[in-house]
Structure 1
Amino acid sequence: MTSLRDATPEAPAPVRSVANAVSQWIDRLGAVWVEGQIAQITRRPGMATVFMTLRDTVADISVPMTCHRSLLDAMAPPLVEGASVVVHAKPTFYANRGSFSLAAREIRMVGLGELLARLESRRQLLAAEGLFSPALKRDLPFLPRKVGLVTAPRSAAERDVLDNAARRWPAVEFEVVHATMQGPRSAGEVIEALGRLERNAEVDVIVVARGGGSFEDLLPFSDEALVRAVHAMRTPVVSAIGHEPDQPLLDLVADVRASTPTDAAKKVVPDMAEEVRGVEWARDRLRQLVVARVRDEQERLDALRSRPALADPRNLLTDRGREVGDLVQRARRTLLHRLDRAADEIDHQRARARALSPLATLQRGYAVVQDANGDVLTSIQAVAPGTELAIRLADGRIHARTDSVTPDPGGTPPSAPGGDNDE
């Protein structure tokens, strides 16, 4: 310590000396009891040390604090952020980092801190039962027949909900049931009011509204009986308790959470002016679509009517009639040509048949000689003198008798068929 006091501009003390001196001074304090509020809790995976921030309840001062994980896990109810605590801690100054912190050896929750811890324990218990499940949240009706309202009589929350809802939708109807909104009787009266509205078949949605207040004022809306009653209701419930930072357990179990009573009025009824603008926009959009569709169809009809086939349908019939006429003429020419060829073919076949006919041979001067039995004679060897013969000519028969037979030296031998007989 003497060396630090003796430091001069010519012989200044190094940083390490100052840091070590501060660390020694702080170590002399020993463990102390400190009161404050837990502002932050940080658990890092794989580390046995939990890092926290301890804030003064009056002045804007906070210091880092650490403790072993086992110390925090052993606390019942669990320590939560915002809890008021009394800590037995050892002040420590880390010379190498130049940072100050408290090493907690014991933590006790007091006052509001203990209350917050119990509330957190209740929240975890109800969440484990599934009361806050998002799957249970119901949608609000677009335009309820009647809105149920549970609030304090002649309160600002009642006025905010009624005035803002009527301003948005003038025809809205309310069924207002008054109840005490703070104090020990509050939870029971709110449960009774909810039951009364639940039995009214015309009520389509229920709003529970209360203005801002201290943490203790809002405690009835974290009552377990109230939370379970809201969970069992068939009518959707809107929670409008306190302001945006406040979040009693009723906000978690309700179907919809509103940050303020005014916000609740905006959620339960639509804005007439906005809906009218939406209808006008939809109507204009529909008109534009219809006009565009009619215009497109008219253009399509005009394009179809401008085609030659539709501009003068007789043109199409004329063209097809011309094609049919051409086909008829072509068929007629083809048929006549085929008939001519067939006639020529018949003439040729008839000429060939006539050429091969025995009658045609007889017309050229030939004759067929037959004996009395009708057998055709092809050789003189079958004819003796005095034989009666029938000679077949082209136009009749001649009956004759043979006087003599004279062989023809140049004639065809009897064994060769096809020989001609000139007698």
Structure 2
Amino acid sequence: MRTLSFKLAEWIHRLGQVWVEGQITQINARPGTRTAFLTLRDPAADISISVTCDPNILRRSPVPLTDGTRVIVSGRPNFYSGRGTLSLRITEIRPVGVGELLARIERLRGLLAAEGLFDARRKRPLPFLPHTVGLISGRASAAQRDVLAVARQRWAAVQFDVRDTPVQGPTAVPAILTELAALDADPRVQVIIIARGGGSVEDLLPFSDETLLRAVSDCRTPVVSAIGHEPDSPLLDLVADLRAATPTDAAKRVVPDVTAELAAIASLRDRNANALRNWVHREQRVLDGLRTRPVLANPLTMIDARQERVDAAVVDIRRSARHLLTVEEHRNAQLTARLSTLGPAQTLARGYAVVQRTDTDRPHAVSSVDELPAGARVRIRVADGSRHATIVEGDQS
């Protein structure tokens, strides 16, 4: 038995590196361990083999590896003599079928993301009410019927430019590119919808084609992606200006609902009318409050109060003026009496006279007989008038 085991191990080890295709049915990769264990099964026969590898090989896989994933592995077969078991130590693992397609899509996703084609700043806004909507879809497909029916139900006047193209297979991408360029060049078309129903990964592969994605990115017209159902996520969803969950959702996002818009307009009108009425009522209350104030209820009250003060001030001023005039008149009378008492008129009234010499250059009052030689002409002033006289020779005693 021992010799047979050794001979089997020696022969198997001479096989060297082999490539094996199979389906993963079990993965055991515990954190912190240096070896991961898998079970690889032949999908066409009830045969399986144990597989070991470095955990990093699983982590570096371009697509997630789960139970049921079909892969091709490269490794060396090992035969353990002690237990009589065969296993495969692998150094490389590659997904096949859908896994390979997903890996290619992921590589393209990374490339386009690095170039900025998924950047939200590149997204163009959709028009509120497009004049004409371009629709690229399969001929008489359910997606086409859904978009047209929902859009016209929401806004009956909306116009569509429908372009029928294959939506799967090798002819899909060239046909879509041709119709996309034609719609983008039409000035009437303000938004373009690319619609298709759900399908397998292979069916939706044209909508992850690099040529189509770059053409959509270069379009001047906003593009809406309506591919598949909610779980489907072709790369067109990331490049398009808007991603719709379904074709029906695309129609709702592109065409406004006339009923909802009219209801919104009516609501806005009611709100505006209510706001205006409330503003008028509020201002009316303010005016009513101002009118009830005493100063505005009887505006002449302020004038009357000020008029009374003005009248009182006028009376005071007149009283003060009369008093001042009386005082000054009394003072003037006193001064006049004093002046009359001290003036020469009173002296003349008592019998005195004033003699003025008038024959000189400067007439002046005479105070001495020496100033009156014979022949001098004089003016004699008494209380009730004056007379002129001439001095003659006579006694000067």
Q: What's the TM-score once normalised by structure 2's chain length?
A: 0.69
Aligned 1:57-206 pairs, distance under 5 A: 66-67=55-56, 72=60, 79-81=62-64, 85-86=71-72, 105-206=91-192
The yes-or-no answer on 1:235 pairing with 2:221 is: yes
What is the CA–CA distance in structure 1 between the aligned matches of 2:297 and 2:187, rounded to whole Å? 68
Aligned-pair distance for 1:135? Answer: 1.4
What is the CA–CA distance in structure 2 between the aligned matches of 1:286 and 1:319, rounded to whole Å? 47
| C-alpha contact (below 8 Å) 1:66/1:103 kept by paired residues | no
Equivalent residue of 2:163, what SS? Answer: strand
What is the CA–CA distance in structure 1 between the aligned matches of 2:328 and 2:40, rounded to whole Å? 128
Stretches of structure 1 lacking an aligned partner (at least 5 in a row): 1-30, 40-46, 73-77, 91-101, 406-423
Aligned-pair distance for 1:356? Answer: 5.2
What residue number does 1:343 align with?
329
What residue number does 2:3 align with?
none
Encode CA deviations 1:136-177: one digit per residue, 9 max, x unaligned. Answer: 211111122222211111212112212222333333332211
Equivalent residue of 2:55, what SS? Answer: strand
- CA gap of 1:68–1:335, structure 2 versus 1, over 3 A, is farther
- CA gap of 1:203–1:54, structure 2 versus 1, over 3 A, is farther
Q: CA RMSD in A?
A: 4.6
Aligned-pair distance for 1:237? Answer: 0.8
Equivalent residue of 2:224, what SS? Answer: strand
- CA gap of 1:378–1:257, structure 2 versus 1, over 3 A, is same
Aligned 1:5-404 pairs, distance under 5 A: 36=24, 66-67=55-56, 72=60, 79-81=62-64, 85-86=71-72, 105-308=91-294, 310-312=296-298, 318-319=304-305, 322-351=308-337, 353-354=339-340, 357-363=343-349, 393-396=382-385, 403=395
- CA gap of 1:316–1:106, structure 2 versus 1, over 3 A, is same
| C-alpha contact (below 8 Å) 1:151/1:181 kept by paired residues | yes
Encode CA deviations 1:272-312: one digit per residue, 9 max, x unaligned. Answer: 33223322322221222122122122223323333445545
Equivalent residue of 1:140, what SS? Answer: coil
Stretches of structure 2 lacking an aligned partner (at least 5 in a row): 1-16, 44-51, 77-87
| C-alpha contact (below 8 Å) 1:51/1:67 kept by paired residues | no
What is the CA–CA distance in structure 2 between the aligned matches of 1:56 and 1:166, rounded to whole Å? 54
- CA gap of 1:384–1:195, structure 2 versus 1, over 3 A, is closer
Aligned-pair distance for 1:196? Answer: 2.6
- CA gap of 1:272–1:104, structure 2 versus 1, over 3 A, is farther
| C-alpha contact (below 8 Å) 1:151/1:180 kept by paired residues | yes
Aligned-pair distance for 1:223? Answer: 1.3
What is the CA–CA distance in structure 2 between the aligned matches of 1:318 and 1:163, rounded to whole Å? 81
- Identity percentage over the alignment? 46
Encode CA deviations 1:15-54: one digit per residue, 9 max, x unaligned. Answer: xxxxxxxxxxxxxxxx9978649x9xxxxxxx9x999999
What is the CA–CA distance in structure 2 between the aligned matches of 1:199 and 1:312, rounded to whole Å? 76
Equivalent residue of 1:273, what SS? Answer: helix
Structure 1 stretch 321-330 or stretch 221-230: which is displaced more? Answer: 321-330
| C-alpha contact (below 8 Å) 1:87/1:106 kept by paired residues | yes
What is the CA–CA distance in structure 2 between the aligned matches of 1:273 and 1:56, rounded to whole Å? 59
Encode CA deviations 1:53-73: one digit per residue, 9 max, x unaligned. Answer: 999999xxxx9973189x94x
